[in-house]
Each structure stands twice: as C-alpha cells, then as structure tokens.
A = this chain, B = another copy of it.
Amino acid sequence: MSSSQKLLVIGGVAAGASCAARARRLCESAEILIVERGPDVSFANCGLPYFIGGEIGSRELLAVQTPASLKSLLNLDVRTRCEALRIDRAGKRVEIHDLESGLIEWRAYDKLLLAPGASPLRPDFPGIADERIFTLRNLQDMDRIVAASGSGKRAVVIGAGFIGLEMAEQLRRKGLSVRLVELQPQVLPQLDAAMAALLESELHRHEIAITLREGVARFEPRADSLRCHLTSGKHFDADLVVLSIGVKPDTELARAAGLKLGARGHIVVDEFQRTSDPDIYAAGDAVETLDRVTGDRTAVPLGGPANRQGRVAADHIFMPDKAKPYPGSLGTAIVRAFDVAAGITGWNEKRLIAAGRPYATVTVNDNQHASYYPGAKPLTLKIIWDPESGRLLGAQASGFEGIDKRLDVLATAITAGMSVEDLCHLEFAYAPPFGSAKDVINLAGFAACNRRDALVSHSTVLPDDPRVQVVDVRPKALAEAFPAPCKVINIPFPTLRANLNKLDRNRPVLTLCAFGKMSYFAARVLAQHGFTVSSFSGGLKANVDPRSPARMPAP
C-alpha cells in the first residue's frame, strides 16, 4: 500500500487495535481509521471477570486505551459507537452508522481489516430475554453484572469452560452463592476429564455447586427470582444467570459482502490474513486459521492469536515483501480457579478419539519444584503423541503452581515438532525454588520412552476382570487411610521382592500407587520375574482422586 493511502479497521479491541498500532509504526503517513461499534477500544477483555470479583480494583486499568490516547500516541482516527453497515467491495468503501449522531456515511478504503470478534452465544431458550440473564463481552456487560451481583445473591453460571469457570470463581469470591451448570460430564470440557478433576474438587472446596450433564430448557421469571429449568426437569432459582456456553463469530458483514466463510461461519483467510478479496484482511475471533498440530482449518477465539494476527495483517499491507506468515494456532489456554490452575496446548485425547487419529499418552505427577524446598506442591502432566513418529500432539497440566510454565514449554515443543524423546533432555533452569534436577516434563519424556521401548505396559482403568491381581504398593498406613476403590493386595514396594510368592504368576497383575512412580518400579520388578503386569499410569492421583497423597499427611 502506498504511504498516503487509507487503512480502515472495523473493530477496535484486540486484533483491530494491534493492526492499527503496527500499521502506524510502519507508516506515518497513512490515514488509519478504526470503527468500533462499542463505546470502548483496546480494552482488556480478558480482565473483565477479575474486576467483577474485585481482584482488579480499578475499572480504569481495563480501559487500556481511549480514542484520545490512540490519537496522541499513534495518530489514529478512532470512531467508537460507530457500526459498519455494509461493504461496497467494488467501490472500496464501507457504509458507517454513527450510533450517537445517527449519521450514516460512506468511508473509502485502500485496505480494509475486519476484526469484528465473536459474540457470546445466547440461544433462543424460552425466557432468554429476561434482564437477569447476562453474557460477558465488554465493559458494559461487566458493569451490568457488577450491579446485579451483590454479596449473598444466587448466581447460576451456565457453561463450565474457561470464562464460565472464571465467572463462577469471581462471583463466589464476591460472596454470592454459585451454581455451575455444564452439559458435558466434566468441568472444563476443553481438557480430558481426569485432568479437570482437581479443578472440580477445588470448586467444591469453595462451595460452588456443580451440575453436570445438564443443559438449559427454559427460564421462568418468578416474583423474586429467575428460575432456571434444566433438561432433566431439575430447576434452580437465581438472582442472576451468566451464560458462558461459547461464542459465534460476528461475520454477517463479511457474509453480506460475499467474502468466503468457513463451515462454521468464520472468515476464511490465507497465511497473511487476506480474505477472498485481496484488499480485505481479517483477524481475531472471527477468522478461521490453521491448526498448528495438524494443518487443518480451525478457529481459536483467544487474545494471543488475535493480537498477533492483527500484526501480521499490518505487516502484509505495509511491507508485503518482509511480512512473515501467521503459522496457525495451537489453542494453548489456561484457567485459574482459587488455588488451582489447569490448561492445555494442542490436541486432547477426546478430540483425537473423535477424529479417529492414532495416539498414545502418559500422565505423570511430580512437584513443581524440589520436594525438599518449602512450598512444594504436586502437579499432574499428561502428554499425547503420535505412536508412529513419537511426535507430540498435545499436553495438559493441572495443579497449584508452575502449570503455565509447563504448558508454555510444551507449546514450544509442539510448535518445534519435537518428539517425546526430545522431552527427556530438555535442560531447564534449575535451582530448588524453581524446579527439579529432573523436571516433570523430563519425567513425562522418560515415561513415554519407557512405553515406546516396551519397558512397561500402562493402564488408566481399574480392572473389571477378577483374575487381575491389583497390587497396591503404597505404604500400609497410606493404603489403609486412602484406600483404592477396588480389591487390592497391599505389598509396599520395598517389600515386593521378598513377597513375590504372594502373587500368582499365572494371573495378570496391575500395580498401583498414588503418583504412578512406585507402581512403575513395581511393574519393572514383576515383569522381570515373569509376571504379566501393567502399571496404573498416573496413579490414584490422575485417575481416581486428584488430591490423593503420596505420603501420610502430618498428623
């Protein structure tokens, strides 16, 4: 684009603001106009729940930029409360409706960026129009929820994904009684069920009621409450309801303009964020992008990708010879609820099963740093790989501290095309307050290689078959205080070699322990003594009770 031309940006939050800012750094002389339907630009949308709960004390902190600050810092022309009505592609102009003045006018562009984002889903349930039903997209939604959510009130949060969990936590912190309703049989359905169990137990610990496998049937306004009727016939009375069941891309404008859309209505773009019209770019929650693991088309409505896509579009508009392609998204995401964090990068097991793709997986437990250093807390890490090549496909982590670190490293490893073997020798920054000489990521690599080298068979289910001898190798006191939920023979690991005669060599053995480490040691002993044995991978902690202790708690 020549330096005196016009860039028009529709949508001024993450992708739009990033594109405009980068555009100005690349070109002082371009006319850059941002048109934003809402009253705010470039606000911190990921921070909204934290203001509702009071963790973020000042609303001003969330309004990162204003039209005036963008004018003075970047010489951008920002029009808030202005809606783009239609795109005239042939005439390279957009019809814009100023919602304040009522004025409607055409604005010309040389290049257009669409960054309309995505709207919270608000299905057509009977009673959905009730003003006590909220969704959360912008500062005004936030203000309304704040006004409605006094301490002691009853909130029902529908949808236990990332935003639903943040909302449930924050409303509970604020003193409301909170019920979380989720259609899937687990909270945080983006993760495999076992990896979300600690999060669920943390919500229970903070007295958030959880109703799983239930959807909304209808809402019934009553004298002093809004009654939420669920598909099973159950109902709950609420003072406010927060709907957080997903988003849909705001792509009516693009559709009306005849731009190519994907199967689920997202704008199709190339690696430089160009739509099917070479003068129109798109970025953020409204676009389809590439899955970085498989190369398939996908949509990832997250702030990081949105910001970086906006930047790629600006690069391609103003320096096409130097612009680097957007390489696709992994869907790396994390949520914190109270003391627990959980997250994912790449593919999960459920999705691989649904896609019919082959995979293998191990789950390991360790502390976030040296166990002898104060504050050591357990975390659980699950990795998934391609069984043929060993290449990583995804990872999930859950625990109290250091979850983001492990996800970030594994996102980097997946991006690099690393295999599970490569994880064994990643060399991390180690001192006792920060890690362990063998980090849990190294351990996951070791465990995966042990499996690939056929040193151990894994199981993640307790056997139905009564022929299987389940050997609990934990210390006797621990095995008695926190019993496994099945019939076991307790042979503490240090006594195993002396007690092989207690086991029948003609029947299979499953070894189990709290974390899956001693059971692996035991499986190695038994395998070498001629037993057919598998180890309960990830132990009781990853499969049965996410708070299963590895040793007796201090009295």
Give me the 7 closest cross-chain CB pairs, A-B, nearest first.
Answer: A416-B416, A334-B429, A72-B494, A61-B372, A303-B437, A407-B429, A404-B434
A405 near B: Cβ within 8 Å?
A: yes
As for how many copies of this chain the complex holds, the number is 2
Residue of B308, B335, B372, B529 near A62 (CB, 8 A) is B372
Nearest Cβ on chain B to A456's Cβ, whole angstroms: 9
The A277-307 residues at the B interface (CB cut-off 8 A) are: 292, 302-307
Complex contact A430–B373 (CB within 8 A): no
Which residues of chain B come closer than 8 Å to A304, judged between CB atoms? Answer: 427-428, 430, 437-439, 442
Identity of the chain B residue whose Cβ is nearest the Cβ of A413 in the assembled complex: B412
Bound-state CA distance A72–B493 (Å) is 9
Mark A47-76 against chain B: 1 for CB-CB distance below 8 A, else 0: 100100001110001101000010011010
The A343-370 residues at the B interface (CB cut-off 8 A) are: 343, 345, 370
A28-B416 CB under 8 A given contacts A308-B424, A408-B409: no
Bound-state CA distance A465–B29 (Å) is 31
Nearest Cβ on chain B to A405's Cβ, whole angstroms: 4
Which interface class (under 10, 10 to 19, 20 to 34, 35 or more) fits A?
A: 35 or more
Complex contact A404–B528 (CB within 8 A): no
Which residues of chain B come closer than 8 Å to A327, judged between CB atoms? Answer: 425
Complex contact A524–B428 (CB within 8 A): no
Q: A: which residues have CB within 8 A of B? A: 14, 25-29, 44, 46-47, 50, 55-57, 61-62, 64, 69, 72-73, 75, 162, 166, 292, 302-308, 311, 319, 322, 324, 326-327, 329-336, 341, 343, 345, 370, 372-374, 403-405, 407-409, 411-413, 415-418, 421-422, 424-435, 437-439, 442, 446, 449, 453, 455, 493-495, 497, 521, 524-525, 528-529
Complex contact A430–B303 (CB within 8 A): yes
Bound-state CA distance A429–B47 (Å) is 15
Bound-state CA distance A435–B304 (Å) is 10
Identity of the chain B residue whose Cβ is nearest the Cβ of A426 in the assembled complex: B412
Could you list some 14 contacts between A and B, CB below 8 A? A14-B437, A28-B529, A44-B432, A61-B372, A64-B372, A166-B431, A308-B424, A332-B429, A334-B430, A334-B431, A345-B429, A403-B429, A404-B405, A411-B426
Complex contact B56–A372 (CB within 8 A): yes
